[in-house]
Structures are given as C-alpha cells and as structure tokens.
Amino acid sequence: MESAYSIANAEMEKIRRDNAELLRKREAEVREKAPEFAEIEAELSRCGIALSRCFIDGGIDLETIKNNIRTARAKKAKILKNLGLPENYLDEIFSCKKCRDTGFDENGHRCECLKKLISKNICTNSNLTGIMRQQTFNNFDLKLFENQPDINGHSVAEIIQRAMKKAISFSENFEDTKRNIYMYGDAGTGKTYMSSCIANRVLERGFTVYYQSAFKMLDILEKLKFGRYDDDEQAQAEYTVKYIYDVDLLIIDDVGTEFITAYSTAALFDIINSRLTEEKSTIISSNLSPTKITDLYGTRLASRIMGSYEPMRFVGRDLRRMKKD
C-alpha cells in the first residue's frame, strides 16, 4: 500500500491531466465545426508573442496589440455562440475552483479537495470492514456490560469503562504519547470493538491505521518470504508489508491464533521491535494473558510486549453469544 498522501497527489495529478485533455478535445471539436477558429487561435498566439516582445523591446504599439486581442476574442465568442456553446467552453477547466486543482490554497495550506482525497485513501488503506467503520466510541454500548457477576469486587461495566477511558486518551493524545496497548481477554469480550473505536478516532484525526489479524499478517509475510505469490500479488504484498512497518497505528488482532513457527515468531518480533524503535504505536489483541505469551513466544518477544505495552484487560461474558441468545 502506498501512502495515502502520495496516492492523493497522484489522483490530483490525474484530475489536472483529465481536465487538460477535456479542454484539448473541446478545442478540436470547435476547430472541426468552425474551421475559421484555427485562424483566430493563430492570431491570439501571434498577439501573445507580440505582447511579450513589447515588454522586452518596447517600440511596438501596445494599444494596437490589445485591440487585436479584443477583436480576436470577440470573434471567438461569436463562434461559440453560433455553435450554441457556453461562452466559457474553452476556458481552462478546474474541478476545484478554490485551488484551481493545485491542492493548495494561496497560503500553501492543503485545500479541502486534497484533504478529502487523503482521508478517503487513508480509510481505504485501513483494512477496516464496513461494520468496523461503524464501531465508534459514540456507539459503544456500556449497558451490554451491566448485570454480570463482579470480578474481584469490581463490576464488569466499571472495568470496561476504565478501559474505554484509556482508549479515548490513547486516541486523543495519539501524536504525542506513542503508546502501545496489549488487549487481552476471552473471545467476544469487546477487544476488537474497542480497537475499532480507537482506529476510527485515530483515522478521523488524520493518521494512518492498518488493521489485520495476526493469522493473515503472518500469512502474507510468509508467502512473500518464500516466493509464493505471482507478480501482481507480490507487488501488492510488498506494499502491505511496507505499510505494516510504516503506518502510524498498527492493530494486530487475535495474536496467538496464527500458525506459530520459528519463522512466524521471528517475523512478529521484528514488526513489534522495529515499530518500538521507530516510536510507532501498535495495538495487539489476544486471548492470551501476558504470561501465556512467554510460554508461546519465548521471553524475547514477551519482554518487549510487557516492557512497552500497557495492558488492557477485557472481562465478562461472550457478547457475541449473548446477542445470539
């Protein structure tokens, strides 16, 4: 995956090209319908040259040139009118009049049209499903966690509410704090939902996010490493892997459900370790308690996670099963 910014810039460039192409077609159309138009174009271009010479050498009658331009323009307007075409038919075409398709306003700030393109690409690259895009802090239903047996004297709703507070602060201070979260707990206790809430808020704030299950992520890495992709797939997989390392927020879901091999453990370690070194935030979610991580992956990976990730525990009943019942 290319960066959302460079994709947006390429799209902007395409808009400019398409508009220039459209203008060329319109000119050809008018030339075809009104052969005298070619002579007017030639006259206007002669006037242009004369005008610039006038600035350099002086001596040529500026008023005459201006008159000639006016006459040629009037003829051009008349041709368009006779053909039943709007008077601005041959003007330069801009999809965004505000920035004239440059993507930037007069102060050099990104124009709304470019921002829209970037955010569209950021969301497409995030790999969140349509359902996950709806899972936001605003839609989070704490009532689901009520009326469950307490855990060590704390209500489930209280524990989840605390987790949510932490998740909100993670999202709102995302750029400053470079935190990492290790979400753990049984299946269906809300880990993926909470990571979607964070992902959506971080995306909304203009950062890049990539969500992927550990199973799929390691499958991509392994197929790439052992040359199991055809050419097209390989190019896509290479983008994805680069994105896994570079994205502002990486969410690895369901760690522990992938095929655990010496290769997958080393690959996972490399991702986690590189991102820590580069100070890029990562969220890991897993059914495994932190101690189980040591058993499965060894102390090297476990100490990275325990040393640099904040634990976020999920408790309670399986919400997916509750909804079905």
For the chain, the residue count is: 325
Of residues 7, 72, 93, 111, which one binds Zn ion by CB under 5 A? Answer: 111
In the structure encoding, which two tokens stand for residue 189, read together? 């206790």
Distance from C-alpha of 217 to C-alpha of 255, rounded to nearest angstrom: 10
Contacts of 138 (CB under 8 A, 6+ apart): none
CB of 250 vs Zn ion, minimal distance in Å: 31
In the structure encoding, which two tokens stand for residue 208, read together? 């890049």
With contacts defined by CB under 5 A, how many residues of the chain interact with Zn ion?
A: 5
Of residues 99, 156, 197, 203, which one binds Zn ion by CB under 5 A? Answer: 99
Of residues 44, 96, 168, 187, which one binds Zn ion by CB under 5 A? Answer: 96
Stretch that binds Zn ion, among 91-99, 167-175, 191-199, 227-235 (CB under 5 A): 91-99
CB of 4 vs Zn ion, minimal distance in Å: 17
CB of 85 vs Zn ion, minimal distance in Å: 26
Q: Which is nearer to Zn ion, 17 or 70 (CB)?
A: 17
Site for Zn ion in 113-132 (CB under 5 A): 113
Q: Which is nearer to Zn ion, 17 or 321 (CB)?
A: 17
* Strand, coil or helix: 156: helix
CB of 98 vs Zn ion, minimal distance in Å: 5
Q: How many other C-beta atoms are found inside a 10 Å radius of the C-beta of residue 249?
A: 24
Q: Which is nearer to Zn ion, 7 or 288 (CB)?
A: 7
CB of 107 vs Zn ion, minimal distance in Å: 13
User: Applying CB under 5 A, does 168 fall inside the site for Zn ion?
Assistant: no
CB of 7 vs Zn ion, minimal distance in Å: 17
CB of 273 vs Zn ion, minimal distance in Å: 41
Alpha helices in 226-312 (DSSP H): 231-246, 262-277, 290-297, 299-308
User: Applying CB under 5 A, does 12 fall inside the site for Zn ion?
Assistant: no
Stretch that binds Zn ion, among 7-15, 104-112, 128-136, 251-259 (CB under 5 A): 104-112
Distance from C-alpha of 74 to C-alpha of 13, rounded to nearest angstrom: 33
User: Applying CB under 5 A, does 98 fall inside the site for Zn ion?
Assistant: yes
Question: Smallest Cα–Cα separation from 290: which of 306, 308, 266, 307?
Answer: 306
CA dihedral sign, ordered 319, 320, 324, 325:
negative
Contact by Cβ (8 Å): 44, 72: yes
Q: Which is nearer to Zn ion, 103 or 188 (CB)?
A: 103
Stretch that binds Zn ion, among 31-39, 90-98, 157-165, 266-274 (CB under 5 A): 90-98
Q: Which is nearer to Zn ion, 19 or 273 (CB)?
A: 19
Whose structure tokens read 């990976």? 301
Q: Which is nearer to Zn ion, 13 or 310 (CB)?
A: 13
Angle of the 156-172 helix axis to the 191-204 helix axis, nearest 10: 20
Stretch that binds Zn ion, among 111-119, 142-150, 168-176, 268-276 (CB under 5 A): 111-119
Residue 51, exposed/middle/buried by CB under 10 A (0-12, 13-18, 19+)? middle
Give the H or E element holding residue 251.
strand 249-255
| Per-residue interface string for the shown chain with Zn ion, residues 129-148, x marking contact by CB under 5 A | --------------------
Stretch that binds Zn ion, among 11-19, 88-96, 184-192, 238-246 (CB under 5 A): 88-96
Distance from C-alpha of 283 to C-alpha of 274, rounded to nearest angstrom: 14
Angle of the 36-57 helix axis to the 62-82 helix axis, nearest 10: 160
Positions in the binding site for Zn ion (CB under 5 A) = 96, 98-99, 111, 113
